[in-house]
């Protein structure tokens, strides 16, 4: 008590929460329908963002399969027009470039003919080429084995080969096993594997691939790679492309040929930018719809509860307390609708992605941002109804039928 009269009672945060929750409990149907409207808006945002992100991830996978970050290095020509050679250490030097994540190489073994049996006429070579190959080749170029196995550290030292898809077809070999042998350079080699067609390195389809060590031992392979394959960090592909020639052959970079970055990389970057802009736009629209729903619900609530507001004012509630009550209701309603919408949106995304056989991606910024933004927008949307309710005079409110 002061000289000016009694001080109004102050509401604790817990009391504000209880009063706001009471307003929702006394009208459960309206609160449920209002929260459902908000939830549907947020679920639509989460689902749109999630499905778009999942589709984006699937697109990235397919584009990556097309070799957006794959570059190849091969010998060019000398000043007198002859075919140049890559140094034997070129693969190792390329591997030391920072953004390069994987390297592998093949080297043509010259003057080696391949036949199915010794009864095949010498002139019928089927256009097959023998290559020494690194054991890391499949993972770098995206090759897969159709039958049998790929070379490893052990088989790479012994007379064993893996056939490209076309090579196996030309030799009439359908399956790889330890009993299947072919003639390579006059010696018998066991066919341990057959590759599927390699989209990113079609030159391997007609190749007979053996280990680096056995090629050097049997055919005096000099270790000079014919092609070096590299994978780089996608954002650095262009930069890596610019230094590959000088790195592979520092003494004569002009005698090195480097494949240019795939046009698919440019398409991927354009798709990324377009989809990111689309996601932000759709999210903003969904949040706006949710905020309008909260504002509409709270304005109607004020109109319906004028008598209640007048009674509370007559019993001593201040305008500030009335504002807090309706603002708390608005925030609780937004939080409930937002949480339900996030869960519903995630469920829709997971179901649709599973149906389409896509990877499921729901960005954390969409779920957390959607929930926080819903509460903030709900608070702003409920601010006007709260101020309007607080301005009602007790006599005017109690006179409302």
Residue 176: pLDDT band with limits 50, 70, 90 = very high
Same domain (yes/no): 133, 247: yes
Q: What is residue 327's predicted lDDT score, i.e. its pLDDT?
A: 77
Q: What is residue 137's predicted lDDT score, i.e. its pLDDT?
A: 95
Residue scoring higher pLDDT (94 or 315)? 94
**Residues 44-65: tens digit of each pLDDT:** 778 877 887 887 787 777 766 6
Same domain (yes/no): 129, 276: no
Number of domains in the chain: 2
- Average pLDDT taken over every residue of the chain: 81
The answer to whether residue 205 sits within a structural domain is yes
Q: Last residue of a domain, which of 228, 262, 296?
A: 262
Q: Is the pLDDT of residue 162 over 70?
A: yes
Q: What is the dihedral of CA 18, 19, 25, 31, to 10 degrees?
A: -110
Instruction: Indicate the pTM of the whole model.
Output: 0.57
Same domain (yes/no): 56, 81: no
Give percent of the chain with pLDDT exceeding 90.
36
Same domain (yes/no): 118, 197: yes
**Residues 255-288: tens digit of each pLDDT:** 999 986 555 555 556 666 666 666 667 666 766 6
Per mean pLDDT, which range of 164-173, 217-226, 305-314 is the poorest?
Answer: 305-314
Q: Is the pLDDT of residue 163 over 90?
A: yes
Residues, the chain: 401
Q: Is the pLDDT of residue 368 over 70?
A: yes
Q: Last residue of a domain, which of 204, 228, 262?
A: 262
Task: Identify the residue whose tokens are 């309710």.
Answer: 389
Q: Last residue of a domain, which of 243, 262, 281?
A: 262
**Residues 188-212: tens digit of each pLDDT:** 999 999 999 988 888 999 999 999 9
- Residue 37, domain extent: 13-63+267-398
Same domain (yes/no): 88, 103: yes
Closest CA to 184 of 129, 147, 227, 124: 129
Pair type for strands 207-211 and 129-133: parallel
Per mean pLDDT, which range of 27-41, 121-135, 267-281, 352-366 is the poorest?
Answer: 267-281
Closest CA to 268 of 64, 100, 52: 64
Task: Identify the residue whose tokens are 């209640």.
Answer: 308
* Top-ranked range on mean pLDDT: pick from 112-121, 154-163, 370-379, 386-395: 154-163
Query: At residue 6, what are phi and psi to the nearest 5 degrees?
Result: -80, 145
């Amino acid at each position: 008590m002061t000289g000016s009269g009694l001080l109004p009672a102050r509401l604790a945060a817990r009391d504000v929460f209880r009063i706001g929750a009471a307003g929702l409990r006394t009208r459960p149907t309206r609160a449920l329908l209002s929260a459902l409207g908000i939830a549907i808006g947020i679920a639509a945002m989460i689902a749109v963002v999630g499905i778009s992100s999942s589709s984006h991830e699937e697109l990235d996978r397919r584009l990556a399969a097309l070799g957006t970050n794959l570059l190849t290095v091969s010998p060019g020509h000398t000043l007198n027009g002859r075919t140049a050679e890559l140094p034997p250490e070129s693969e190792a030097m390329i591997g030391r470039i920072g953004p390069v994540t994987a390297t592998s190489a093949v080297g043509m073994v010259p003057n080696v003919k391949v036949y199915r049996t010794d009864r095949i006429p010498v002139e019928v070579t089927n256009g097959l080429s023998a290559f020494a190959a690194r054991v890391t080749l499949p993972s770098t170029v995206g090759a897969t084995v159709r039958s049998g196995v790929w070379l490893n550290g052990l088989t790479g030292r012994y007379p064993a080969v893996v056939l490209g898809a076309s090579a196996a077809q030309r030799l009439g070999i359908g399956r790889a096993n330890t009993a299947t042998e072919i003639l390579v350079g006059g010696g018998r080699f066991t066919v341990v594997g057959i590759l599927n067609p390699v989209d990113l390195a079609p030159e391997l389809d007609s190749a007979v691939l053996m280990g680096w060590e056995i090629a050097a031992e049997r055919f005096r392979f000099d270790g000079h790679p014919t092609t070096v394959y590299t994978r780089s960090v996608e954002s650095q592909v262009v930069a890596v492309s610019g230094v590959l020639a000088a790195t592979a052959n520092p003494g004569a970079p002009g005698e090195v040929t480097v494949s240019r970055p795939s046009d698919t990389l440019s398409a991927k970057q354009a798709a990324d930018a377009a989809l990111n802009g689309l996601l932000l736009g759709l999210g903003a629209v969904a949040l706006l719809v949710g905020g309008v729903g909260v504002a509409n619900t709270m304005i109607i609530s004020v109109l319906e509860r004028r008598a209640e507001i007048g009674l509370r004012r007559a019993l001593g509630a201040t305008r500030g307390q009335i504002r807090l009550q309706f603002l708390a209701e608005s925030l609780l309603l937004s939080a409930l609708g937002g949480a339900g919408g996030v869960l519903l949106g995630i469920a829709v995304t997971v179901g649709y992605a599973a149906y389409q056989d896509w990877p499921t991606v729901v960005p954390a910024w969409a779920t957390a941002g959607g929930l926080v933004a819903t509460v903030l927008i709900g608070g702003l949307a409920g601010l006007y109804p709260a101020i309007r309710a607080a301005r009602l005079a007790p006599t005017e409110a109690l006179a409302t039928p």
